Chains A and B, each alone.
Chain A
Amino acid sequence: MTEEERASEDGDRSLADRTTPWRARETGAGGGLTGRLVRRFAWLDAPLFALILGSTAVVVVGGLVQVSMGSYEMTIGQAWAAVFNPNVLFDPQAWDAFLLGEAVPEMRTESLIVWNIRLPRVLVAVLVGMNLAVSGAIFQAVTRNELASPFILGVSSGAGLAILLTLVAFAGVTLVVPLVVTEITLGLSALLPVIAAIGGIAAFLLVYAIAWKNGTSPVRLVLAGVIVSTVFGSLQTAMFFFADNIGVVQSAIQWTTGSLTGVDWEQVRIAIPWTVFGLALAILSDRQLNVLLLGESTAKSLGMRVERARFGLSAVAVLLAAASIAVAGIVSFVGLIVPHVVRNVVGSDYRKLLIGCLFAGPALMVAADVGARLALRPTQIPVGIVTGLVGGPYFLYLMRRQENLGEI
């Protein structure tokens, strides 16, 4: 069969398609530096760009609402003026206070409230949204299951159990850290963020150990995650049973449903290093994630050490999830829905998907936190309740619309 015959049979094959080399097509007329730039940012296509713009708009509007509303009333104009107050924005001393935890310099009441109380809450929401969305996206590639979430490998149950143990069983225990000149005494509850993160990571390692048998497989990892979550979940419930006052229970619930109430710059400081580190690693690993999607045997025959990649990527995802647990508790559904929404818009290519998650995650988180803070004013509800209320119906909608939900 000649080339032409085959062409006519396949119909849509044009001569131009066959003869134009792709370099020319992809870079347009300009070669050299512009060509390379165009190629480098070829992933930024129209759907992704629209997603980024839309998400940024949601974050800005949500942030604006958050900083202007609350028990100290101010107009949107006042709040905005406070946000862009040059005396704060360009004051190195203020940034020292925010980012390094030194004393906050003198400033006007509006500025103080906006910068010291309301803005950090928005920032933490942004960081948590990014972390959870990217973490979920990674786990979906690692398990090759679109319904995987950051907490699928037991992270949430481990963190939850660690929190309850701390609050209920070891409430009175204090930790004495000897220093050279003095020693500091810490109540264990002051270390709650760290303990939560450690609990999550420990559960993840336990899941991996259970799943390991001459290597792992996505299915065995998920099953091991279910096993560990079930057992730890029961233990959590048992701890609730033994809690002797309602305050402890409420505080534990805040942690296990995820809440941004009362966060300030300290939470920003806790989350930022891990976030930057983890997100950079994730985005640099986009090709590994894409190759993992091709299935284990293909990935292996392409020269990937699948087991190592799977563990490394899971570790990055757990790190991101743990960082968000440490500052906001266990916020459900964000890591599940956001990658899903983004995938529907930009497709399954992980470069685009991860970049999209960096913007869409914060959008959902900030919007949900507006609801959590303002829906039942003056009572604040944990933000995790709002994300769950939004997430459930979204999945119902997907289930009705899509035949084969779950396949990437």
Chain B
Amino acid sequence: MGERGFATDGGVGSTLGGDDDGDGTDDSPATDSDGGGASEFGGEDIVVGYPNADEPVVDGESIRVPPGEVTALVGPNGSGKSTLLKGLADQLSLDRGTVRVDGTEVHELGAKRLARKLGLLSQDNAAPNSITVEKLVAHGRYPHRGAFESLSDADRDAIDRAISMAGVDHLRDREVGSLSGGQQQLAWIAMALAQETDVLLLDEPTTFLDLRHQLQVMEIVERLRDESETTVVLVLHDIEQAAQYADHVVALEDGAICARGSPESVVTEGLLADVFGIDAAVTRTDHGPQVTPLRALGDGDGGNETGESDGAEE
């Protein structure tokens, strides 16, 4: 999708499905002829866990992500939301189940082709301190370049677009190590944007950021939805943020999906009590349901909304 960029031009969208999909697995005519061009993405019957653990974290869940929209995975600490995301992103190998992008199973795509369709910004990012923001963003073009190719003009355009979309033009020549946590996160998001994937997965992109940077990150997510056909899936720590920005919310508890649907239907007092273990008041506002946490229920795990740090996180 090198040329497509973030334009909403529907006509160009059709170029991405057709040309490099020439392998045998053509059992998805519906997605290829899909006029919108946004990518179908989802997983079926996913069983995924960590190599050293006996029990899988997520045991047999299916998830279908609405194309071109923003889907938020929410749940208390240890509910398996990040694990599910890593499974979807092919970072953790599935014990069972399939993940498909545009009807093709991710394993059949090959690493680089998958990385042109599916991007993931993980939580634990580390860059050398002396790398500049621009160089970091340029790494997002890795899957678009041959092994020994230098940056093409298309790559440079994509980098420019990503930098301006993430709002880090002014940081372009700064070294990543000299930036604040929030600015670093924006730089990393710019890198993921430069990858220009159809589907973008973000693992807790707003955690540990100050409010302003949280808003900046969520504004980028909104723009991705509004100005391009990117399908976004993100894990959010903050259920209120999910309610405000997501089109579709999926709630997990103990590795099982316990609710899914529009923010209004998922973020309810009942769900907050059952899943998050808190007594909260939910008021409907123009910006989606608003949550006012009142108190923690019982002494079960993961009930503390004030952000008590997580021991055995997913």
Contacts and interface: CB of A to CB of B under 8 A. Distances in A.
**Centre residue among A7, A290, A301, A302 by max chain B CB count within 10 A:** A301
Given A6-B167, A13-B170, A22-B160, A303 B143 contact: yes
B169 A294 contact: no
A3 to B, nearest CB: 9
A297 B124 CA distance: 8
A291 B169 contact: no
Contact of A301 (B122, B127, B164, B172): B122
Given A7-B170, A21-B160, A291-B142, A348 B115 contact: no
A377 interface: no
Interface residues of B, number: 45
Given A290-B139, A347-B130, A22 B156 contact: yes
B52 to A, nearest CB: 9
Contacts of A303: 111-116, 142-143
A295 B124 contact: yes
B120 interface: yes
B125 interface: yes
A6 B219 CA distance: 13
A298 interface: yes
Contacts of A209: none
Contacts of B129: 348, 407
Contacts of A348: 128-131
A349 B135 contact: yes
Interface string A291-311: 101110110111111000000
B130 A304 contact: no
Contacts of A293: 126-128
Contacts of A347: 128, 130-131
Interface string A275-295: 000000000100100110111
Contacts of B192: 301
B139 A17 contact: no
B120 A301 contact: yes
Interface string B156-177: 1001100010010110100000
B305 to A, nearest CB: 27
Interface in A289-342: 290-291, 293-295, 297-298, 300-305
B91 interface: yes
B240 interface: no
A10 interface: yes
Given A17-B170, A303-B115, A304-B111, A295 B139 contact: no
Contacts of A290: 139
Contact of A23 (B114, B156, B169): B156
B55 to A, nearest CB: 17
Interface in B133-167: 134-136, 139-140, 142-143, 145, 147-148, 150, 153, 156, 159-160, 164, 167
B169 A300 contact: no
B131 A349 contact: yes
A100 interface: no
Contacts of A39: 150
B128 A408 contact: yes
A250 interface: no
Contacts of A291: 139, 142
Contacts of A400: none
Interface string B81-100: 00000000111000000000
Contact of B142 (A17, A23, A304, A407): A304
A294 B138 CA distance: 12
A291 B167 CA distance: 23
Contacts of A284: 147-148
Given A294-B126, A348-B128, A349-B135, A13 B169 contact: yes
Nearest to B197: A301
B85 to A, nearest CB: 11
B134 A22 contact: yes
A408 B129 CA distance: 8
A12 B170 CA distance: 7
A108 interface: no
A2 interface: no
Interface string B224-251: 0000000000000000000000000000
Q: Which 6 A-B pairs have the closest CB atoms?
A: A303-B115, A13-B170, A303-B143, A348-B128, A301-B120, A347-B130
Given A23-B156, A293-B126, A297-B120, 8 more contacts: A7-B170, A17-B169, A23-B153, A213-B51, A290-B139, A293-B127, A295-B122, A301-B121
18 contacts: A13-B170, A18-B164, A291-B139, A291-B142, A295-B124, A295-B126, A297-B91, A298-B122, A300-B90, A300-B91, A301-B120, A302-B195, A303-B112, A303-B142, A303-B143, A347-B130, A349-B130, A408-B128
Interface of A: 6-7, 10, 12-14, 17-18, 21-23, 39-40, 144, 213-214, 284, 287, 290-291, 293-295, 297-298, 300-305, 347-349, 407-408
